[in-house]
Structure 1
């Protein structure tokens, strides 16, 4: 367990964890040895002169004080190591998730990552703070007490020692019998978390469609499965807990009977047998707690396994010797890209000279948004190359590449916080004048003026306190503040009302001025602002040219244009 914990965390925590384990082990040994002092104490108290027990009682009190100090220091060390590891793991997990390819985030990842980053991470990293000390005590203190018993009477010590392999066998059997139940419980937890997230996010659609009753049923079903899985987990651990209790009680009964036999035979004194029985009783408590602690440790180990699996997932590789692009032209050279079993691009080549605008048009599922994602290196191509400034994006440092590109998505996500904080994501070190200028250029100042809190207005989770058009203005202001030479636009006006559309178009025009632009167009009117248009379909470029040229050819692009210009399509 400790080896896996250090493997997941890395070497930087190894020394602190080993020091804490050594301190906790020493404390557990001292606790066991402490009970050995009961023999002279009880021997003196049961003798003809009980006053002789005074020095031994003082020694026992001093030993208890020393043990208490050790326990305090070891528990405090465990708590500090645990909180340090938790903080470090949150940072490591967050940084790793940010580097994983977008394709890793499948439909079920939301619930899985939510469980892992919440209860799972607390459970795994809480081992050092909450479980390590009692678990070490439950193992080391009884073994130390058995060693003390062997020193006083080998027969009683040997009888107590018999419990060790029996307890080990029961623990191993319980671990095997509960492994499947623990795995099922995790799957049910992940599914239920995903259902809760889905239920909350889908409220507008569900209410508009009158389907809330059905969605409640789906959510209730997943929560009932969690309840059933929890019940199966309890039933799987019950035989082990009962077996452990019976074993401990049976060994104690054997020691009691053997001790009585030895006392009656005159082979051992009353003080010694009384002390040994006290020691045996003291062994019982930590042994009985092993069942509960082992279950918690198994759960923590399972979480560590899942965490380790995520951390071992390879992010997109970084170049050993990154190259800095000096220009801002874009190029696809014989690009082939597959998403699962589906070929999105098949030997696609295109180029965008620096400072020009390319519009990408095509039916749904043609790969328009994927083209933007490949330019931003959200994925790596299966064949061919994507270049920025003549340099393969795989040879550019990720931070350098992201500094070259500003992306405005159709669906804008804003973080909980103020409008100003969300705009500053574009360039955190920008001064107030630059932030205000970007907001004015995006016509975000109009939104800020009518909000009660102005710049300090909270946008809510995901930007829920703002309309779609207002969120787009924040996104454009963010991109303007970033001032990147390459702009990627995933049609940002397709779902806006006329007022917001006009404002967003104005901001987009300012954003595109003098920059290399690739825009995905759903509304065909935006295509007219492009220097060149490509029509994607079936994983290939079907047509390419200027807007006027493609209209004159009367091909697929012309058909799309005619359909979009009909009154029904224009409304």
Structure 2
């Protein structure tokens, strides 16, 4: 995208990716990417995996001891008392089991320490990066979805490193040790036992490989979609109750549930049913492979004499005992494959957050000394849109003046206002404050220079005082009280139990929309910023609150540069200039009187606004049953109804 030639591009710094893997497609990321957040604690994971592998190999010991006992008993049958070393085998089996458990305990201790550190770093990295992204990013990425992604990815990473990775190391050691051990005594019976593991693993790959390899990603995305839609549904419950609607009124939530249900059912029934049943059958039924081989080999062993046959029986007992380990090893591998699918999805989602565009900080920041605003041939398009939201828009807001943006809904008014504080950056042209491109001004300084009052202002769950003082770190109590008085908040404080120190949102303390707007207005006044951006700040106010808010606006605007967005045209009549934005273009500019006299779009909007303002509701006496009402417009002065 090209910037205005007058923009000092040399002073604009390109964002640097927070990840060393920035050049790698997110679809190829996996566990290694997540492990990068472990930092210097990574050695704990390696150490824990080594301990887990040793512990798993030692866990073979009790099985070998059981085989030794069986071998000695068979060798002296039927004189069992002649068997020696049975007690020694028992103590040795106990010793190996205890050592295996101790090593596994310290393995998990190490991996948990690494996991907690990794999950903490992942959360910090994501939150730190989100603090740097353009504020407009949060308009297109729901906070609930971001929270679920960050918490979910950190949680799955923590579980993966703390438990699944050491279990994977142990499982691999188990499989390798198992393969070696199975071929020690009789390779034919060993191969028979191994056949069940091979068939079971093949079934697992049928479930999780090929076209099903990315199922976990689709599964996690379906959960995110349900979370987003569910949040919107819960917020809309009052509407559901008032209008006696059902969940089907919220189609997005209903569709998200159905999509998740159908996807999970299809995967479980059509994809997993047969392979899962087959895998469980063969892995738990090793005897169906071992017994036929043993029957085939038995005559030959018997022909070699009693000692050979006794050894054959002992070997068969060994493989029968060891077959229990095969089921454990394969089951662990199955869960490991699933966890690594989850880790791949977590890595992709984390990567997407950490590689979202951040505000480009200027290499050589400039400081404005005057605070006029100028839009110079500005164009802007939202990501994924097929047309510009703003196209070649130019207008000026002189220092100390009030300029209003009006126009049809969706025309681009809010988009234009959001470019001043760099909620988004322009695609072409420039937005300047005091003659300096806003992209060449230090971000902190730019934010300190602008105060905002939005349509829907949110208050912190803190005291009124803390909510207002948040605008300026060095604000004194006198500054806060003065701002509250200027914003016409005295009546609000008078009815609160603890006055300005009352905590909003607790113990039944709730403010109306208009009252919240006045508190937000006080916050803007307290900031003492030279530029004020107002986005339909009276949208949720009743007539009484609107009158008080207008008085607060007068105080806020005194001596400041004001850019305001309004739908109620009565609030912009006294503006120094009105800019009419329609379909992304500035189609008209001038004072109220000039635009009305011009007879263009603004004049038509003004006429329609006057008609709408004079509508009233009356009862229709001719209707006997029910409360029929009729809306009519009073005659305008000098005109017909």
Confirm whether residue 215 of structure 1 aligns to residue 271 of structure 2.
Answer: no
Cα deviations across residues 430-464 of structure 1 (Å, max 9, x unaligned)?
Answer: 45444444333323343233234645655449x99
Counterpart in the other structure of 2:178: 145
Counterpart in the other structure of 1:24: 49
Superposed displacement of residue 259, structure 1: 5.8
Counterpart in the other structure of 2:446: 401
Instruction: Report if the CA contact (8 A) 1:323-1:395 is conserved.
Output: yes
Cα deviations across residues 273-322 of structure 1 (Å, max 9, x unaligned)?
Answer: 54443333223223134334533442443343333334333334443444
Counterpart in the other structure of 2:404: 359
State how far apart, in whole Å, the 1-side matches of 2:43 and 2:569 are: 65
Instruction: Report if the CA contact (8 A) 1:357-1:516 is conserved.
Output: yes
Structure 2 gap segments, 5+ residues each:
1-26, 617-641
Structure 1 gap segments, 5+ residues each:
none
Task: Choose which of 201, 204, 210 in structure 1 pairs with 2:235.
Answer: 201
How large is the RMSD of aligned CA atoms in angstroms?
3.7
1:144 to 1:496, Cα distance in 2 relative to 1, 3 A? same
Superposed displacement of residue 234, structure 1: 1.8
State how far apart, in whole Å, the 2-side matches of 1:568 and 1:480 are: 30
Instruction: Report if the CA contact (8 A) 1:486-1:517 is conserved.
Output: yes
1:146 to 1:494, Cα distance in 2 relative to 1, 3 A? closer
Q: Where in structure 2 are the equivalents of 1:281-430 lying within 5 Å?
A: 281-339=324-382, 340-427=385-472, 430=475
Cα deviations across residues 112-168 of structure 1 (Å, max 9, x unaligned)?
Answer: 446524555533442123433333333322322332344455555455555665454
State how far apart, in whole Å, the 2-side matches of 1:258 and 1:150 are: 14
Confirm whether residue 169 of structure 1 aligns to residue 221 of structure 2.
Answer: no
Counterpart in the other structure of 2:518: 473
Superposed displacement of residue 36, structure 1: 3.7
Number of residues of Structure 1 aligned to a counterpart in Structure 2: 569
Counterpart in the other structure of 2:274: 239
State how far apart, in whole Å, the 1-side matches of 2:250 and 2:408 are: 35
1:480 to 1:237, Cα distance in 2 relative to 1, 3 A? farther
State how far apart, in whole Å, the 2-side matches of 1:169 and 1:22 are: 31
1:444 to 1:148, Cα distance in 2 relative to 1, 3 A? farther
Superposed displacement of residue 408, structure 1: 0.7
State how far apart, in whole Å, the 2-side matches of 1:170 and 1:212 are: 43
Instruction: Report if the CA contact (8 A) 2:453-2:520 is conserved.
Output: yes
Confirm whether residue 131 of structure 1 aligns to residue 164 of structure 2.
Answer: yes
TM-score of the two chains, using structure 2 as the length reference: 0.77
State how far apart, in whole Å, the 1-side matches of 2:614 and 2:273 are: 65
1:221 to 1:379, Cα distance in 2 relative to 1, 3 A? closer
Instruction: Report if the CA contact (8 A) 1:244-1:288 is conserved.
Output: no
Counterpart in the other structure of 2:108: 75
State how far apart, in whole Å, the 1-side matches of 2:312 and 2:39 are: 48
Q: RCO (CA 8 Å, sep 6+): is it higher in 1 or 2?
A: 2
Instruction: Report if the CA contact (8 A) 1:493-1:504 is conserved.
Output: yes
Task: Choose which of 218, 226, 242 in structure 2 pairs with 1:192.
Answer: 226
Counterpart in the other structure of 1:5: 31
Secondary structure of the residue aligned to 2:389 is strand
Instruction: Report if the CA contact (8 A) 1:24-1:71 is conserved.
Output: no
Where has structure 1 moved over 6 Å in runs of 4 or more?
none
State how far apart, in whole Å, the 1-side matches of 2:56 and 2:542 are: 74
State how far apart, in whole Å, the 2-side matches of 1:239 and 1:121 are: 34
Instruction: Report if the CA contact (8 A) 2:573-2:592 is conserved.
Output: yes
State how far apart, in whole Å, the 1-side matches of 2:28 and 2:193 are: 28
Q: In terms of Rg, which structure is larger?
A: 2
1:565 to 1:311, Cα distance in 2 relative to 1, 3 A? same
Counterpart in the other structure of 2:123: 90
State how far apart, in whole Å, the 2-side matches of 1:458 and 1:322 are: 39
